Chain A
Amino acid sequence: MYGWIWRHLPGNAWVKALLSLMLAMIVVYVLFQYVFPWAEPLLPFNDVTVDNQ
């Protein structure tokens, strides 16, 4: 999977490394900005109130 991505990135090793880093940063950004805020309320780590539901 990662090998496939690496082989399909253009340029020499340095360009590939730079592009990989950028891809990784985009993935982290999407996770922090959209995926984790969506997933958090579904997980039982942060309910602090008492209620009768």
Chain B
Amino acid sequence: MAATTDTEQHEHAGEDGPPEPGAGPRGRGPRRIVAQAVSVFGELLITAGLVLGLFVVYSLWWTNVVADRAADKQAEKVRDHWAQDRVGADGPGALDTKAGIGFLHVPAMGEGDVLVEKGTSMKVLNDGVAGYYTDPVEATLPTSGKKGNFALAAHRDGHGAKFHNIDKIEKGDPIVFETKDTWYVYKAYAVLPETSKFNVDVLDAVPGESGKKKAGHYITLTTCTPVYTSRYRYVVWGELVRTEKVDGERTPPKELR
């Protein structure tokens, strides 16, 4: 009933001057059609506004809920897998790359760890994980022991927002990558707060833009910037400081304590 009253008010508002006596609330003729069109148009605008508002809720809240759920499930699977391997004789590098290769710990970005999986497609990253690049430049995994660049990407907002606080990382901050039996402790040494999304050179095995000239064990974190948009990319580089064997209790290295 309330809605009916609304429509009537709209109709009156659409008319010039007071309604003709005896015309009744429904009115008639072309004026009524115009008034009705205006009212429908107004309602469509309100609807569009609501849908856009809902889209914001979806991107900034709901995708996080879904992604965190997926990430937790996969992380648990990886941890389980590691634990099972530990019980039996250590298999020859039984690396479950499908569920994830390890965890990234960056104290500067906040508590908790980020599961790292293969690939940087939206399908992978939307599960609330970080992905290592396979395209356009193939990342060098730290587990391979070779010199190269371990380049990663993750979402800044929505879908877990795992790199949301990337701007809190400063030079000298630790970036730790945890695998089944090794802690790889990196130290951030360069930050590129804004670069073009076409700048694939940042993923190079020797990232020249960070000031390095010689091959080494590097790590690169990429995400979008400024927050809530993807106009540019934000890049943080780190270099391997040392590695540490994982002990029976998985005691974290001193950087994480």
Chain A residues in contact with chain B, CB under 8 A?
A: 1-3, 5-7, 13, 28, 31-32, 36, 39-41, 44-52
Contact = CB atoms under 8 A, between A and B. Distances in A.
B256 interface: no
Nearest to B54: A31
16 contacts: A2-B6, A7-B3, A7-B4, A40-B59, A44-B230, A45-B228, A46-B59, A47-B230, A48-B163, A49-B133, A49-B197, A49-B222, A50-B200, A50-B222, A51-B197, A51-B200
What are the 4 tightest A-B residue pairs by CB atom distance, in nearest-first order? A3-B7, A6-B3, A47-B230, A3-B3
Contacts of A7: 3-4
A48 B154 contact: yes
Contacts of B85: none
A52 B200 CA distance: 7
A3 B6 contact: yes
Contacts, number: 91
Given A6-B3, A31-B58, A48 B43 contact: no
Contacts of A50: 136, 153, 195, 197-200, 202-203, 222, 233
Contact of B224 (A32, A39, A48, A51): A48
Interface of B: 1, 3-4, 6-7, 39-40, 43-44, 51, 54-55, 58-59, 62, 120, 122, 125, 133, 135-136, 153-159, 163, 195, 197-200, 202-203, 222-224, 228-231, 233
A49 B153 contact: yes
A46 B158 contact: yes
A48 B229 CA distance: 9
Nearest to A6: B3
A34 B231 CA distance: 26
A13 to B, nearest CB: 6
Contacts of A51: 135-136, 197-198, 200
B223 A48 contact: yes
B241 to A, nearest CB: 25
